[in-house]
Structure 1
Amino acid sequence: TGKAYELDFNQIALDPVTGEEQGRRMWGEVSLSRENLMPFLYKLHYSMHIPEGFGIELGILLFGIVAIVWTLDCFIALWLSFPAWRGWRKSFAFRWKQGGYKLNFDLHRSGGVWIWGLLLILAVTSVSMNLNVQVTRPLVELFSPLTPSPFASRTPVSLDEQKFPGISRDEAVSLAAAEATRLGLEKPAGGVFYSPEFDVYGVGFYTAENDHGDGGLGNPWLYLDGQNGALAGTQIPGTGSAGDIFMQAQFPLHSGRILGMPGRILVSLLGLAVAMLSLTGIVIWAKKRRSRVLSDQRRRHAEPEMQAVS
C-alpha cells in the first residue's frame, strides 16, 4: 500500500537467548494497566497526554511554556520573599510553635527560600527537556558553540517515507564498537536503536544495570549513518565546548542522576516539596481572597448607612 503498517504496540520484550516474546505494550498509551502505568505517569509528567495538533506536540509545547513561566516565577518569588532586607532572617525561619496560618505562610515562603536553588535548576532543566531545539540550544549558542546534532542536521521523514537501513543492527554495533575502542571508551555496547525518521543508528556504551547513566553526565553514545555506517556524530559526556557540557548536564540535573541514587532521592523529595509549596500557596491565596470578599461586603453594608446619616 505504500503506507507503514499499523501496529497495536510500539515496544516488545524478547528473551535474549530464545527470542521468545515476553510482553508487548503501546508506550505512552493512556492506560493504568500494570504494563502501562509507569509510561503513563512519565508522559503525564511532561505533556499531560495532550495530543498533537497542527503538526506540533501541543502538550510538550504547553509544558515548555509553563517551565519558562516557572523559571521567571523563581526570581519573582525570591524578590517577594525578602520584602525588608534588614529582616532577612525571618525569610528563613519557621514558626513551628505558633502553627496555623503563620506556619502555613512560613512553609510557603521560608520553605521556598531554603530550596530556591534546587527549584530553579528544576525549572531551567524543564525548559531544556521540552523546548531544547526551540529555546535552550539557541540561547546557549549565544555564549558557547554547540556540536551539531546528527538529528538537527537531517530532515526527518514520515514513517511512510522511511528508508530500509543499508546496514543491520549487528553491523552498526560492530562499527560503533570499533570507533569506541579508537576513542578510548571502556564500557561495552549496551544499547542500540535505529531512527527511521532520520536514518540514523545510535549505539550507547554502558553496563546492563546503568542504561540511564546514574552518576555524572550520562552514558556515551555514537551515531552512525543508517545507509553506510559512517560516523554521524558523538555524544561523549564531559567532552566538547562549555555549551556541550551544559546541555549534557540537563537531564542528569533534572532527574538527580548526576549524583546517582542520592540525587534521585533528593529530586523525589523535591517533588513532594513542590506539592507542599503549591498547597500552602493555595491556602494563602484563599485566605487573602476571603479577606477581600469580607472587606467588600462590609464596605457595601456601610455605604447605605453613611448615606442615611448624611
Structure 2
Amino acid sequence: MPGLELRRLVFVTHRYVGLVMALFLLIAAVTGCLLVFRATLDAALNPSFFAIPVRPALPATELVQRLQQAHPGWRVQSFDLQTQPGQVLHVGVGALHSDGHDAIIEGADQVFVDPADARVVGMRSSGAGIDRPHLFQAIYLLHYTLLAGTAGRWLMGIVALAWLVSNGLGVWITWPRRRPWLAGWRPAWVTTRARLHRRPMPELHRVGGVWLLVPLTVLAITSVAMNFYDELFRPLVEMVSPPRVSPFDRPPATPASSGPTIGFAAAERIAIAAASTQTPSLAPVAMTDDPVHDFYDIGFAPGGTSLYEDFGRVTYSIDRHTGQLAWIDRPRLDGTGRLVLRALYPLHSGQVFGLPTRLLVLLLGVVTAGLAVTGFLPWWRRRHMRRRQAHARTPEHI
C-alpha cells in the first residue's frame, strides 16, 4: 500500500539521517551540558585564578584605573562592572601597537584582578588548549566548530539542520494514520514495563523524543541559525524586518577623532544616569572600550547579572571624547527582527529565564546524547546479528 510504503521510507530516512549525525550530536550534547555551567566549572577547574580572600571590594572602574597605572603598556578592552567580595574581576586586555591594533600581552589577553586591591592574581589567553586554563575554550570550540574553524561550523550547521529534519520525520513516524489524531497519538507518549523489558532502547528513544519534541526543536533551530548567522540567518531576518540605522553603520573612527578621553568612570556615571530614566530596572554589567567606533559601551541587565536573560543586555554607547550618549542598543526598539536575533543565544544557552531554563538545556543535552545512543545501538546490534547469521550460513571451504 502506498501509505505503508511512504511510512517505511520515512522510517528508513529517519534512521539513517540519525546514524549519520549521531556522533556529531553526541559531541554537541556532551559539550553543551558542560557549557551550561561553564563559569562555575571553569572556576572550580582553575582555583588559582578565582579563589581569593573575602575582603571589601573597590568599584570596578577604580580597579581598572589602578591596573592601568601599574601596567602602562596594557590597554583595557573590557571588564565586568559588578565587583563582589571574594570574586575576581575579569578584565580583557591587550598591548596597543604603533599601528593602532591590539596585540596579546605576555601570552595572555584575560586578566583576573583581586577586587580589594587591583592585584593581578592570574592571566591567560582566550585560546583553546587541553590544559586547565584553556580547556573550556576548547570545549566551546569543539561544541561550535569541532575545532575546525569555519568548515567545522558549517558542518555542525548542516548536522543541526539534519537534526531538525529528523525531528519532523520522528513526528511523522509516530503520528496516527487515521483520526482522531491527538487521541491516536497518545500511545506514542507512553510505554509500559513489558515494552521496556522487551525493547528498552527503541522505547526510550521514542518516548524521550516525543516528550521533549518542542524544546529539542527550538534547540535545533537556534543551532542552525547561529551556525549560519552571518551567511544566512541575519541577512534574511534583516531583509524581512530592517533594524534602525545606528552609529555602528558609519565608517570606523578616523585619526581626527583622537584626543583625550573621558575615562571609564565618567562613562559609567553618564550611562547610569541615562539608564535611570530609560531602563531603571536594569543594572550595569560590563564595559567595553571601542576605539574603532570611538565609544565606551556599557551593558545593562536585570539585577546586573552576567547571564544573557530575556533578549540580552541593553547597551549604552557613550562618546569617548565628549561624553554624549550616542546610542542605546535596546532590542525592543528595533522590531521583531531584532528580537529574533537577540533571542538566539539566550534560548540556545538556556539563559533566557535564568536557572530553570539552564537546567532545562542541561536536561536536553542529556536526552540528546541518549537519543543518539539509543538510536545507534539497536541498529548496530541488528547489523552485528545479521553478519553473524550470514557467516553461519556461509559454507566453509578448505
- Please report the TM-score for the alignment, with normalisation by the length of structure 1: 0.76
Structure 2 residue 216 is the aligned partner of structure 1 residue 119: yes
Count of residues in correspondence between the two structures: 289
Q: Which residue of 2 aligns with 1:191?
A: 286
Trace 1:1-310 onto structure 2 (pairs within 5 A). 2=99, 4-7=102-105, 8-33=107-132, 35-50=133-148, 52=149, 57-82=150-175, 84-85=177-178, 87-100=184-197, 102-147=199-244, 153=249, 167=261, 168-195=263-290, 200-206=295-301, 210-214=305-309, 216-224=310-318, 233-290=327-384, 293=387
Post-superposition Cα deviations, 1:156-207, rounded to whole Å, max 9, x if no partner, equal 89xxx9x978633334334433432452434343210134566554211247
The more displaced of 200-209 and 292-301 is: 292-301
SS at match of 1:126: helix
1:249 CA displacement: 1.9
Q: Assess, with a 3 A threshold, how the Cα gap between structure 1 residues 77 and 41 changes in structure 2: closer, same or farther.
A: same
Distance (Å, rounded) in 1 between the aligned partners of 2:188 and 2:347: 27
Q: Distance in 1 between matches of 2:259 and 2:152?
A: 31
Q: How far does the alpha carbon of each residue in 1:50-102 deviate from its partner, in whole angstroms, 9 at most, with x for none?
A: 2x4xxxx3433332333233223322222233374565333212233343562
Bigger Cα displacement from structure 2, 142-151 vs 132-141: 142-151
Instruction: Give percent identity, aligned residues only.
Output: 31
Letter in 1 for 2:376: I
* Higher RCO by CA contacts (8 Å cutoff, separation 6 or greater): 2
Do 1:220 and 1:237's aligned partners in 2 also have CA atoms closer than 8 Å?
yes
Contact persistence 2:260–2:321 (CA under 8 A): yes
Structure 1 residues 296 and 135, CA gap change in structure 2 (3 angstroms): farther
- Stretches of structure 2 lacking an aligned partner (at least 5 in a row): 1-97
What is the TM-score when the length of structure 2 is the normalising length?
Answer: 0.61
- Separation of aligned partners in 1, 2:306 and 2:295: 20
SS of the equivalent of 1:109 reads: helix
Write the distance in 1 (CA, Å) between the matches of 2:168 and 2:321: 49
Q: CA deviation at 1:211?
A: 1.3
Letter matched to residue 154 of structure 2: L
Structure 1 vs Structure 2 CA RMSD: 3.5
Q: Aligned in 2, Cα 1:80/1:212: closer, same or farther, shift over 3 Å?
A: same
In structure 2, the CA distance between the partners of 1:155 and 1:297, relative to structure 1 (3 Å rule), is farther
Of 90-99 and 247-256, deviating more is 90-99
